[in-house]
Amino acid sequence: MLLSKYFIPVLKEAPREAEIVSHKLMLRAGMIKQQSAGIYSWLPLGLKVMRKVEQIVREEQDRAGAVEILMPTIQSADLWRESGRYEDYGKEMLRITDRHERDMLFGPTNEEMVTDIFRTHVRSYKDLPLNLYHIQWKFRDEVRPRFGVMRGREFLMKDAYSFDLDEASSRAAYYRMFVSYLRTFDRLGVKAIPMRADTGPIGGDLSHEFLILADTGESEVFCHADYMKLDVPGAGVDYDDDGLIQSIVEDWTKSYARTDEMHEEALWSNVDAAQQMNARGIEVGHIFHFGQKYSEPMGAKVTGPDGKDVPVYMGSYGIGPSRVVAALIEAGHDDNGIIWPASVAPFDVGLINLRSGDERTDGACASLYDQLTNAGFDVLYDDTDSRAGGKFALADLIGLPWQLIIGPRGLDNGEVELKNRSTGERESLNNEAAINKLMTWQSETKARFGG
Ligand code: ATP
Ligand code: MG
């Protein structure tokens, strides 16, 4: 991509209302634009990152056996009357009346709708287990939308719903999603710690939140230092092996990890003081097991092997890709801007022409651009006539993993400069060595994050 043909509406200064670093940087880097309180447009750079986050989430849902569908954003209030949640949900629900005076709503979540799909099409235990998910916009009329896309009113959510014949198989389904979340966040290049959670208005008895540690997180967290060194299962993990999956969950839940809402001093004091981590965190995922809470009132039944009909056992599993984008910035930035994890960076390399319009640097850049693009790199080429300082500042702000800098002085010596955004290291190399170094990084990145 040529920067001159792209659209990154950079702001010199972040608007005052932006309180936290991710909100400031997303505005400054031209990733989002607010349209109303808590409602944002996603501009090219922001959208590119969010799509990459979505894709990793999707791949790990698929790997764990979930099947993608797409449900609408607008739902009928009647479905919610069946579960009893239409009245209960309160002011967070955006209620709409259509031209026929029918009560509709903009979905804050989809338990009712997916239960309706299930009861229409599934009758027998032989069709179970089943897990259906979608990645769709949600609306919750938050009292205090703030921190940009971190707490929006309209936000993107991946929500999966599992259906099983009995409690035991339903728990196994919950464990599969738990493990897929470990893998998802690992591939997103962050540490997310599962913490025992309250089930809230959704109800049920088994629930975990996944939190990314960051100073600006809304939740206070208390967790054992063990979580910093636990292994995440590899791409080959066998989701059909219930015993294995359960043992991974046990490893990841045996040490203390709670947010302030669920914190218990008495249990915490049993943790060796040297191992106590008291930090802040951002909730990026939340999984629930709630059994027959919706299937019972909505009549979603399956016939078991004994010929008896039972309301199906369910769980629901959410991740907010739009919030994840902001959380990744909270976890990865410095004074100059964003530092993206390799797996979701909007481009791999920023190619910087220090003297656009100069025949020699233009030629060298064009040739490097072609070579890198052909080798499978996503390159953003700064071919504009901005000054060098401005180009460097922009490259640091948008946080691509590498900057490849081409100037007349380097070319005199047959060299280009390669800068690593996260370490700040700069190296002068000839073209071939620079490309080789990037290729090595590319294959390491694929091995580490590719799945
Ligand atoms: P919170 O406690 O932060 O308000 P929640 O517990 O109400 O969130 P869930 O129903 O658990 O949210 O939603 C699942 C996921 O959807 C969350 O883990 C988060 O990633 C995302 N999410 C929820 N609310 C928002 C929001 N207002 N803006 C952006 N993402 C959100
Ligand atoms: Mg939650």
Domain that holds residue 55: 3-338
The pLDDT of residue 15: 86
369 lines ligand 1 (CB under 6 A): no
Same domain, 409 and 267: no
β-bridge partners, 167: none
- Within 236-384, residue ranges assigned H as helices are 242-251, 265-268, 295-298, 321-331, 359-374
Same domain, 296 and 359: no
H/E stretch holding 412 reads helix 408-412
pLDDT tens across the length of the chain (451 residues): 999 999 999 999 988 889 999 999 999 999 999 999 999 999 999 999 999 999 999 999 999 999 999 999 999 999 999 999 999 999 999 999 999 999 999 999 999 999 999 999 999 999 999 999 999 999 999 999 999 999 999 999 999 999 999 999 999 999 999 999 999 999 999 999 999 998 766 555 599 999 999 988 999 999 999 999 999 999 999 999 999 999 999 999 999 999 999 999 999 999 999 999 999 999 999 999 999 999 999 999 999 999 999 999 999 999 999 999 999 999 999 999 999 999 999 999 999 999 999 999 999 999 999 999 999 999 999 999 999 999 999 999 999 999 999 999 999 999 999 999 999 999 999 999 999 999 999 999 999 998 7
Looking at the structure of the chain, the number of domains it has is: 2
The CATH number given to whatever domain includes residue 104 is 3.30.930.10
| Domain assignment present for 343 | no
The pLDDT of residue 200: 67
Residue 36, helix vs strand vs coil:
strand
- Nearest-atom index, ligand 1, CA of 209: 18
Give nearest CA residue, ligand 1 atom 16: 320
| Domain assignment present for 344 | no
The pLDDT of residue 204: 54
The pLDDT of residue 288: 94
322 lines ligand 1 (CB under 6 A): yes
The pLDDT of residue 383: 98
Is the CB of residue 107 less than 8 Å from the CB of residue 95? no
| One-letter amino acid for residue 102 of the chain | R
Same domain, 273 and 353: no
Domain boundary among 338, 366, 397: 338
| Domain assignment present for 164 | yes
The pLDDT of residue 198: 82
Same domain, 63 and 127: yes
Same domain, 289 and 387: no
Ligand showing the shortest atom-to-Cα distance for residue 154: 1
CA within 13 Å, CB half, 375: 21
The pLDDT of residue 443: 96
Same domain, 220 and 316: yes
Exposure of 1 by Cβ count < 10 A (0-12 exposed, 13-18 middle, 19+ buried)? middle
Same domain, 32 and 152: yes
- Measured in Å, residue 252 CA sits from the centre of ligand 1 at 22
| Domain assignment present for 190 | yes
Exposure of 94 by Cβ count < 10 A (0-12 exposed, 13-18 middle, 19+ buried)? middle
Q: Among candidates 185, 189, 181, 139, which has minimal Cα distance to 160?
A: 181
- Measured in Å, residue 381 CA sits from the centre of ligand 1 at 36
- DSSP state, residue 165: S
Same domain, 289 and 353: no
d(CA 303, CA 424): 61
Domain boundary among 338, 370, 395: 338
| Domain assignment present for 33 | yes
Cis peptide before 108 (omega within 30 of 0): no
The CATH number given to whatever domain includes residue 357 is 3.40.50.800
Same domain, 221 and 362: no
- Measured in Å, residue 260 CA sits from the centre of ligand 1 at 16
d(CA 172, CA 246): 7
What contacts 257, CB < 8 A, 6 or more positions away? Answer: 193, 194, 195, 196, 221, 222, 223, 224, 227
The pLDDT of residue 14: 85
Domain boundary among 288, 313, 338: 338
Q: Among candidates 111, 106, 114, which has minimal Cα distance to 84?
A: 111
Entry pTM: 0.97
- Measured in Å, residue 320 CA sits from the centre of ligand 1 at 7
283 lines ligand 1 (CB under 6 A): yes
285 lines ligand 1 (CB under 6 A): yes
Same domain, 265 and 369: no
Same domain, 334 and 417: no
- Measured in Å, residue 436 CA sits from the centre of ligand 2 at 44
Same domain, 295 and 388: no
